[in-house]
Amino acid sequence: AQSVAQPEDQVNVAEGNPLTVKCTYSVSGNPYLFWYVQYPNRGLQFLLKYITGDNLVKGSYGFEAEFNKSQTSFHLKKPSALVSDSALYFCAVRDRGSNSGYALNFGKGTSLLVTP
Amino acid sequence: EAQVTQNPRYLITVTGKKLTVTCSQNMNHEYMSWYRQDPGLGLRQIYYSMNVEVTDKGDVPEGYKVSRKEKRNFPLILESPSPNQTSLYFCASSLRVAGSYEQYFGPGTRLTVT
């Protein structure tokens, strides 16, 4: 079984400050990990993914995420938040060794609010 | 432009009246999937398709049907909609069935069943 937890329903950050959106996962094997962003009235957009290799993954719009196997975490980060980063963020996991139907398990989402 | 399209974007209907939400992708993707998004529950997979004529149930398939007669289309059918199917629905596709390929999402269909 695979699952994702996003422990914070909402994260509030002042513009210009660093932001972190947390994600922990549970898989039986090794994971593929993804972050998606959803702007109001829009579909989800892919931000970045971890497959293998370097634990620090860089993605779109200046976002990055750090894979930590020992803590089973994949936190999303950005050094300097923008008001336009305000959106709903989803972490997702797929167990690369699983025959579970190739499902991508999503977290419940974290609402990021960046204030001017 | 590479995209996933869904129609309609908004739909209000009554209990029991059959409806179809269409989904089409122009990227020649093998894998397509339907999700529903509900507050506090995130995205839950309804059905997915690994290729033409190959479909399977996701986590919440009850009350839904799908078909995959062509590679580009993956309609979602509600034979007898009920109010608990009021939700925001997303279609998604990806290049390959499994592995590290990210999914591309449509803009969503907001369905209200009264």
- Asked whether B21 and B107 are in contact (CB, 8 A), the reply is no
Q: How close A17 gets to chain B, by Cα (Å)?
A: 27
Nearest to A44 among B41, B50, B90 (CB): B90
pLDDT at B108 over 80: yes
Query: CB distance A43–B105 less than 8 Å?
Result: yes
What is the pLDDT confidence band of residue B40, given thresholds at 50, 70 and 90? Answer: confident
pLDDT at B97 over 70: no
Q: What is the pLDDT of residue A99?
A: 54
Q: Across residues A77-95, what is the average pLDDT?
A: 94
What is the pLDDT confidence band of residue A10, given thresholds at 50, 70 and 90? Answer: very high
From A9-13, A97-101, B11-15, the region with the lowest mean pLDDT: A97-101
- Asked whether B10 and B110 are in contact (CB, 8 A), the reply is yes
From A22-26, A60-64, B38-42, B99-103, the region with the lowest mean pLDDT: B99-103
Q: Report B:44-103 residues touching A (Cβ under 8 A).
A: 44-45, 48, 50, 56, 58-59, 90, 92, 97-100, 102-103
- Asked whether B113 and B15 are in contact (CB, 8 A), the reply is yes
Whole-Å CA distances, A64 to A32, A55, B113: 15, 10, 40
Q: What is the pLDDT of residue B98?
A: 58
pLDDT at B32 over 70: yes
Average pLDDT score, chain A: 90
From B7-11, B28-32, B62-66, the region with the lowest mean pLDDT: B28-32
Query: CB distance B102–A102 less than 8 Å?
Result: no
CA dist., res. B4 & res. B106, Å (int): 5
Query: CB distance B4–A96 less than 8 Å?
Result: no
- The alpha carbon torsion through A17, A106, B89, B102 (nearest 10 deg) reads 80
pLDDT (tens digit, 9 = 90+) per residue, A28-58?
A: 878 889 999 999 888 899 999 998 888 999 9
Query: Bigger pLDDT: B63 or A41?
Result: B63
Nearest to A90 among B40, B43, B59 (CB): B43
Closest of A89, A15, A14, A109 to residue A48, by C-alpha: A89
Q: Across residues B58-74, what is the average pLDDT?
A: 96
CA dist., res. B19 & res. B26, Å (int): 23
Q: Across residues B73-86, what is the average pLDDT?
A: 97
- Asked whether B103 and B33 are in contact (CB, 8 A), the reply is yes
pLDDT (tens digit, 9 = 90+) per residue, A100-114?
A: 556 688 999 999 999
Nearest to B42 among A42, A43, A107 (CB): A107
DSSP class per residue in chain B: ---EEEE-SEEEE-TT--EEEEEEESS--SEEEEEEEETTTEEEEEEEEEETTEEEE-S--TT-EE--SSSSB--EEESS--GGG-EEEEEEEESSSSTTPPPEE---EEEEE-
Query: CB distance A45–B105 less than 8 Å?
Result: yes
Chain A hits for B35, Cβ within 8 Å: 106
pLDDT at B95 over 90: no
SS (H, E, C) B29-56: CCEEEEEEEECCCEEEEEEEEEECCEEE
Q: Across residues A60-68, what is the average pLDDT?
A: 95
